[in-house]
Structure 1
Amino acid sequence: MQKVMKSGIALACAFSFALTACSGGQSGNKRSELSSGTAGAGSTGKNVTIEYWSIPIYQNVEGAPSPSSGEWEKMKIKEFEAQHPSIKINFQLIPFDQSQNKIGIAVAGNNAPDVVLESVDRVLMKYVESGKSEPIGDFIEDVKSDFNPEMLKKVTRDGKIYGVPVTLNPEYFFLNAALFKAKGLEHLIPKDDRMWTIEEMQDALKRVSGNGVYGTAMWAANEQGDEMNLMRLFGMGAEQWDESSTKIVLDQYPQAVDGLSKLVSMLDQGIVAPGPATTAALDAVELFKQNKIAMMPFANGLWSLVEAGKKDGSTDPKVELFGMAPPHSKGVVPKVASAIHGYQVFKQSDPEKREAVKKFVRFMIQPEHIKAVSKSGNYVPSRQSASYRYDNPEIQAAMDVVSKLPLANTGVSSPYFLDVRKMWYPELQAILLKKKSPEQALKDYAKKANDFLAEKQRR
């Protein structure tokens, strides 16, 4: 038990910012931040234009003119420009599925944006490795103690901070309790500890399936959300990367073969929704919202997606969310995945422009701003002074359990994470289409990925 508790310390530390209002030692830092982050209109000395790109992360932000992604940012940009007349912000909202291609092309053409808001834990190190990212530790030097240290680790390399985290989106499992209740199976919902063993999960999902309802959904249309499905294998004791995130080791775990074989069997039995090889993560979300899926892994933002859908009619009003730990084998501590969104800055050669970028980033990461975007999606804020408790007691109860679990190593600290990530889903497709056995697909994935990593590391 002591080992289990220690393994969850990092995640509990990250989540505690949202679970309780912390106190102490920030008032002086906040005054300093306000004086240097928002005051001094026009103090850059010349007119400066900042290119700011963002993926559509935050919706339904309180105070924004509309619930759509990007609207809150546009509102805050107007406020910033009013305070800093010499600084102009060119804002672009980049679709998720186009962001990395668009940013990569811009960087390769020496035409990178100045500031990007994106999944910094997954993409930042790629640009740090290539020397394209600007170290920005001085942006938060006076308020660093207010930031979650576990999140800062994700944006730090060789002692230098290259990004500023804003929110953490934990990923775990969700039940649609309404489907269990409708079939008289409410007693199967693990309300006491919010945990299922693999055997309990299989039994429950088999019993709830039928008449247009599926126990769960898989997706392998692309790499997006792959870590959510991999949590099924982590719960059985498998690991995808080694501890240093320099090698793929998933093929070395018999549990991975067993877990994938079980999923194929569940697909054959009608427990898994049909067509997973061509299903994307958000397709599965839509099935869940339509009251057709009893369980799925996803991020904490699912609470907001479901509730927003009840308002606009895209969610069946009967859907009832219940958050729980990832199902696991006996004796295995389940692990959860996460995504950290935040700011990165590309290389700056003009000191005055860099100072303008610094002012803008500091403005956007003020505690009240981080709190606003965190609450919009039930995210974990990166700053202690932006902490809050969840209004929904069900979310709070789920987070009380999930926060004690360790984070899975999904390889995000590798500068080649994005390249290797794309190598897994074709193998998963082959498994689901029965073109390869789980064992063969795992071997092929590991060989391709490790050959690639070895070549990169030789350079």
Structure 2
Amino acid sequence: MIAVKKRITGFISVLLMVSMIAACSPNQEGGTSTPNSGEKGNTAEKPADTNKPVEITWWNFPTYQALDGEVGKYEKQLIEAFNQKHPEIKVNLEMITYDGGPEKLNVAIATNSAPDVIYDAPGRIIDWAKKDLLAPLDDMVTDEIKNDIAPAFWKQSVVDETIYMYPINTAPFMMAVNKTVFEKIGALDLLPLDKPDRTWTFDEYKKALEAVKEKAPDVIPSGFYAKSQAGDQGTRGYLANLGISRFLNEEGSAVAINTKEAGAALDWLVQAEKDGLVISGSASLAAADVNDLFLQGKLAFSINYSAVLRAQNAPLKQAEFEDVLLPYPTLDGSEPKLEPYLGGMAIFNNDDEAKITASKTFIDFVANDPEWGKKSLIQTGGLSVRNSITGLYDDSEYEYSELARKFVTDPPTIADGYAEVRTFWFPELQRALLGAASGEEALNTFATKANEAITKAKAATAK
């Protein structure tokens, strides 16, 4: 790791010398650069020009809902507001997509051209932190802030008790149901909407699926998918709760989902597909395929949803219906265990203290500005990670999402080797769905491979 760091530092030094000689002029378009420009701030090489702003580059997935149909428009407004208070810092915005963004980040890291700031989730951020690619953020977090955020969120934001992600927005991952379908078939009483916590049993869920199959034959009762890693949190939460188990143990040190109950739940899923209760061909479907069917009104239940996704999906609906949030059913009706979506910001350590300091100032504005902090939270469609910030929306589903936070459990992203662990999940689901293995066999094979990856990663981290 130290050797890698030295190579990175040396390469950046070369780049700085080249840029000094080239004396390229910076972008003058008011704080944003075009997505393919590849420009980064180069203020450090001209110490004589002390009035020149420090330039930082912010790469952002479509974290915020588009304004007027324009992706990135809100981000530009946010930067303009930031510059009214901090004209000494120039923020170059580059929007990236969920499809190509992860690979683009990998390439940028490999070529020592990572952005300064990123808004992302723990799955990638903590992996970068473990590879010594990020700047610590401990000096940004006061005791007041630390005590206002639940330990479960901090656990996803630190490595060896050092903070590398500044947590901002959250929402529990759960299911959604097309409530309008159940109203039309006169079966609304089959949904647990009259219970404040909306918990329900596996048998109650199956009765709801059977009602859709019988009374709404043009609607697919429920969805599933196993083509790629995207949306894997939905499949994890669904099977773990149907089998009253956890994906990983509480320490994140080993797989826990390979139980007889979870294996039986996976076997039921395979049979349910044959019985027409679950979409056919799920082994070859991606999360986006199933989500599109739900937005078209052709699917009664979506297994991968949250308040954030509900907000993002609202303008994408191709049919008029009311989507309502539900927790995953459990075998015995016990409280579900829901993985939390968590969004936050991190800083790549590009060996420039001025840029790191400027990046911290920008993150503090995004998260804590009295006006734009709240405005930005609402624009994500998520809830605040702060216990003291509630009631952002006048909406019953957001009220339920706030309540459902009590079901949040530790996510697998905290595990060493998580990036490799998740690569074994869908192949084993596919084996079961295609009849090549029983549910229990598939989960045991997954556990063996995943536990080896966790052990290997833990050993590598300890060196």
TM-score (norm 2): 0.81
Structure 1 window deviating more from structure 2 (410-419 vs 145-154): it is: 145-154
| CA distance in 1 between partners of 2:410 and 2:87 (Å) | 44
5+ long unaligned stretches in structure 2: 1-48
CA positional deviation for 1:146? 7.5
Are 2:393 and 1:390 aligned?
Answer: yes
* Larger RCO (alpha carbons 8 Å, 6+ apart): 1
Pick one of 155, 158, 170 that aligns with 1:156. 158
The residue that corresponds to 1:25 in the other structure is none
| CA distance in 2 between partners of 1:394 and 1:239 (Å) | 25
The residue that corresponds to 1:216 in the other structure is 222
* CA deviation vs aligned residue, 1:6-32 (integer Å, no higher than 9, x gap): xxxxxxxxxxxxxxxxxxxxxxxxxxx
**Residues 203-242 of structure 1 aligned to structure 2 (within 5 Å):** 203-209=207-213, 210-235=216-241, 236-242=243-249
Are 2:352 and 1:346 aligned?
Answer: no
| CA distance in 1 between partners of 2:395 and 2:283 (Å) | 35
The residue that corresponds to 1:198 in the other structure is 202
| CA distance in 1 between partners of 2:452 and 2:107 (Å) | 25
Amino acid of the residue matched to residue 185 of structure 2?
K
The answer on whether the counterparts of 2:126 and 2:156 sit within 8 Å (CA) in structure 1 is no
The residue that corresponds to 1:361 in the other structure is 363
Are 2:423 and 1:417 aligned?
Answer: no
Pick one of 112, 117, 120 that aligns with 2:119. 117
- Corresponding residue SS for 1:90: strand
| CA distance in 2 between partners of 1:306 and 1:332 (Å) | 30
- Corresponding residue SS for 2:341: strand
The residue that corresponds to 1:286 in the other structure is 292
- Corresponding residue SS for 2:371: helix
The answer on whether the counterparts of 1:54 and 1:93 sit within 8 Å (CA) in structure 2 is yes
**Residues 93-172 of structure 1 aligned to structure 2 (within 5 Å):** 93-119=95-121, 121-141=122-142, 144-145=145-146, 147-150=148-151, 151-172=153-174
**Residues 9-20 of structure 1 aligned to structure 2 (within 5 Å):** none
The residue that corresponds to 1:436 in the other structure is 437
Residues 217 and 434 from structure 1, CA distance in 2 versus in 1: closer, same or farther, beyond 3 angstroms? same
| CA distance in 1 between partners of 2:80 and 2:311 (Å) | 27
* CA deviation vs aligned residue, 1:237-261 (integer Å, no higher than 9, x gap): 122212221222322x111111101
| CA distance in 1 between partners of 2:50 and 2:362 (Å) | 12
Pick one of 240, 248, 252 that aligns with 1:245. 252
* CA deviation vs aligned residue, 1:337-384 (integer Å, no higher than 9, x gap): 211111001114333222222222222222433322332354111345
Residues 306 and 109 from structure 1, CA distance in 2 versus in 1: closer, same or farther, beyond 3 angstroms? closer
| CA distance in 2 between partners of 1:188 and 1:104 (Å) | 46
CA positional deviation for 1:331? 5.7
Q: Tell me the percent identity.
A: 28
| CA distance in 2 between partners of 1:368 and 1:146 (Å) | 22
Equivalent residue pairs, number: 404
TM-score (norm 1): 0.81
The answer on whether the counterparts of 2:265 and 2:439 sit within 8 Å (CA) in structure 1 is no
Larger radius of gyration: 2
Residues 245 and 351 from structure 1, CA distance in 2 versus in 1: closer, same or farther, beyond 3 angstroms? same
The answer on whether the counterparts of 2:56 and 2:91 sit within 8 Å (CA) in structure 1 is yes
The residue that corresponds to 2:17 in the other structure is none
Residues 303 and 111 from structure 1, CA distance in 2 versus in 1: closer, same or farther, beyond 3 angstroms? closer
| CA distance in 1 between partners of 2:56 and 2:329 (Å) | 46
Pick one of 55, 69, 82 that aligns with 2:71. 69
The residue that corresponds to 1:269 in the other structure is 275
The answer on whether the counterparts of 2:366 and 2:372 sit within 8 Å (CA) in structure 1 is yes
Residues 53 and 302 from structure 1, CA distance in 2 versus in 1: closer, same or farther, beyond 3 angstroms? closer
5+ long unaligned stretches in structure 1: 1-42
The answer on whether the counterparts of 2:417 and 2:456 sit within 8 Å (CA) in structure 1 is no
The residue that corresponds to 1:48 in the other structure is 54
- Corresponding residue SS for 1:423: helix
The residue that corresponds to 2:376 in the other structure is 373
- Corresponding residue SS for 2:301: strand
Report runs of 4+ in structure 1 exceeding 6 Å deviation.
none
| CA distance in 2 between partners of 1:258 and 1:116 (Å) | 41
- Let me know the Cα RMSD of the aligned residues: 2.4
Residues 147 and 104 from structure 1, CA distance in 2 versus in 1: closer, same or farther, beyond 3 angstroms? farther
The residue that corresponds to 1:300 in the other structure is 307
The answer on whether the counterparts of 1:57 and 1:69 sit within 8 Å (CA) in structure 2 is no
Residues 377 and 140 from structure 1, CA distance in 2 versus in 1: closer, same or farther, beyond 3 angstroms? same
**Residues 18-29 of structure 1 aligned to structure 2 (within 5 Å):** none
Pick one of 174, 183, 187 that aligns with 2:189. 187
The answer on whether the counterparts of 1:423 and 1:449 sit within 8 Å (CA) in structure 2 is yes
